[in-house]
Amino acid sequence: MSSPTVYPYIIAITNALQTGLALQWPIQCYANLESVTIQGTPQVSLVMEETVVRDVIGRGRTISTLRMDQTLTILVILRNASDQSVTNTLLLDLGEWQANILHLLCRDVLMSGGPLKIIDLPKPEAIAGGAIAGRVRLGLQFAFEAE
């Protein structure tokens, strides 16, 4: 995919998740995990990570294309005030949300052998007050046309 931006998949991923998950709040994109604010739960957010230039293609002394690898995280935050210890109830709910996200990505966004891939699902984190945060990390590949 050739792109006029260095964040080419934000719209496709947010649209697929917003529509497929029927979220009450819009999906927000953040520059890093530290800047994420809880608007309400359930909340799904995108967090941009590192972008690495994998290959430089040029014509003579001019660079025409940069092939990039990018990582982004889909963050899910759930809250259940009756589960202050973040036990089975919230873990099972998080597992269902992450499964739904994976289903949507595999059905609507990811292509077999394509430029997007699922990297991992890091360990969930408990948040004080009966909340949990889980992540799905994606790896992306795209070409940025310098001309």
CA dihedral 118, 123, 128, 132 (to 10 degrees): 40
How much is the mean pLDDT over the chain?
Answer: 87
pTM for this predicted structure: 0.86
User: Cβ distance 24 to 77 under 8 Å?
Assistant: no
Which is it for strands 125-127 and 116-120: parallel, antiparallel or unpaired? unpaired
Q: Find the mean pLDDT for residues 112-138.
A: 86
Q: Give the start-to-end residue ranges of the domains of the chain.
A: 2-145
Q: What is the pLDDT of residue 1?
A: 52
- 33-78 pLDDT tens trace: 889 988 888 999 999 999 999 999 998 889 888 889 999 999 999 9
Structural fold of domain 2-145: STM4215-like (3.30.2000)
- 17-44 pLDDT tens trace: 999 999 888 999 999 988 998 888 899 9
